[in-house]
Structure 1
Amino acid sequence: MSIGNSPEDDRPSDDSAADGLTADASAAASHAADDRPSIGRALQQARIAAGLTVDEVSTSTRVRIPIVHAIEQDDFSRCGGDVYARGHIRTLARAVGLDPAPLLAQYAEGHGDVTPTPTPAAPLFEAERIRSEPRRPNWTAAMVAAIVAVIAFVGFTAFNGDDGDGKKGPVAEGPKTSTSKPTAPKPKPSKPADPKPDPSDSAIAGVPRDKVTVKVNAADGRSWISAKDHSGRQLFDGVLEQGKSKTFQDQKKIDLILGDAGAVQLYVNGKQVDNEFEPGQVERLSYTKGDPEVG
């Protein structure tokens, strides 16, 4: 027999073995955690792999470009707090095709699981109690003011309605309307109209006596007309349409050629010349001062 520990005493107990396995697992997990890329690095790699630019990610997520750059550099100070940082991580992860849950867990490991502290109920109750009640309108003062205004108006009306002797002043009256019918003005007797002068007389009075005046009127049809003065200068050469007239003057003589003498009327020196020209008849005529005389 040997004195000392038995072989069974040299074997490790079950508790020691379990502790060893737990320590090894923790070490392996810690080593695996150290091998993970950072949150910003993971988001950046996923964005590049998806072929997206920072501008495109900012446009699709509405996260400002400087904040996207800061998160990819693992700078969460520009997010405005942990709540906004978590929201930005979740939004950017979905935009580049990553599962946001591992990234949020990794953020919680480095920044702690910060949850908003509930506000105690007592301060809210105190604030409600301290808040002043809205002022109610002072109806009594309003009624008093209205009564005073009415009394002042009545007194002012009574003072202006009476004069110094207590008599009422005269009331202005509008213009009186007449009920009688307006009388129509009597028509004034008109004077008898002066007799109109004979056309031949007015024509004679209107022409100068020191010149020869010939008027050609195409009363019955159109006619070709040629007119020259005493020197042979052409005064007119053309067609005179029906209803039209032409007047020619010269110091000594007017020479006419009528293409259709039967269609025209002649007035020489203010007098109508009676003629018996036939339709279509061509006439050569000459007139001088004084009574109409055919040259």
Structure 2
Amino acid sequence: MSIGNSPEDDRPSEDRTPHADDWPSIGRALQQARIDAGLTVDEISQSTRVRIPIVHAIEQDDFSRCGGDVYARGHIRTLARAVGVDPEPLLAQYGDAHGGQPAPTPATPLFEAERIRSEPRRPNWTAAMVAAIVAVIAFVGYTAVNGGDDGGDKQQAAEGATPATSKPAPKPSPSTKKPVDPKPDPSDSAIAAAPPNKVTVKMTAAEGRSWISAKDHNGRILFDGLLEKGQSKTFQDNQKIDLVLGDAGAIQLFVNGKQIDDEFQPGQVERLTYTKGDPEVG
């Protein structure tokens, strides 16, 4: 009886061939590429606008926080490009692990990766009070004018005809001044021409619906929700407009009156910024 390994154990195994399980996972490949590029998670998040918790989750092969297959594929493509890796093998690996074609995404207009929680709107009591005061003043003025006209007619009828040399007092005309209507929101009305001193962005869901987010140069949310197929939204700002398109392939863009000809792929997540000089410098 011999002690130690048998001669059979020393022979090389003929079936030890590379297997798919030996390949690095998607998250591990992205993490290693980021480290090799000398980038931190914060830097990747700033350059791609993918939130830090989402980057950490993807590098741990946790795609549950992406909001669905379409958005997970978009994040993989975005992160791979940021760290200098070809995204197509990673997308193919993701498809093999998750059933090939992207699964239908739920109808919810937001996904966690890009959810921007806005504070609930509170009733504008100041505007309501001003409108009520204007309505009361207009009613009192109208009543006073009509009452004065009736009194003048009755007094003239009682005194008889006035001499020909005297001219009747001019009849006061009712006030035609109306409360100034609030300026319509650019996103709810078509803009005939793009002002040269502002940046104007118009989005139309020509190919299908897509979640979109738009912010002005102060970071204030202009719109955050789902744009149904055939719907349009127009935004304006004095300096710049930041956009996030959940399905860029479904959106047709017009910036400062000119159509953007970028060919976005269906399901592709795009983050765009436009200024007054675009699309020339965009």
Normalised by the length of structure 1, the TM-score is: 0.33
Larger RCO (CA under 8 A, 6+ residues apart): 2
> Which structure features the higher share of helix residues?
1
Normalised by the length of structure 2, the TM-score is: 0.35
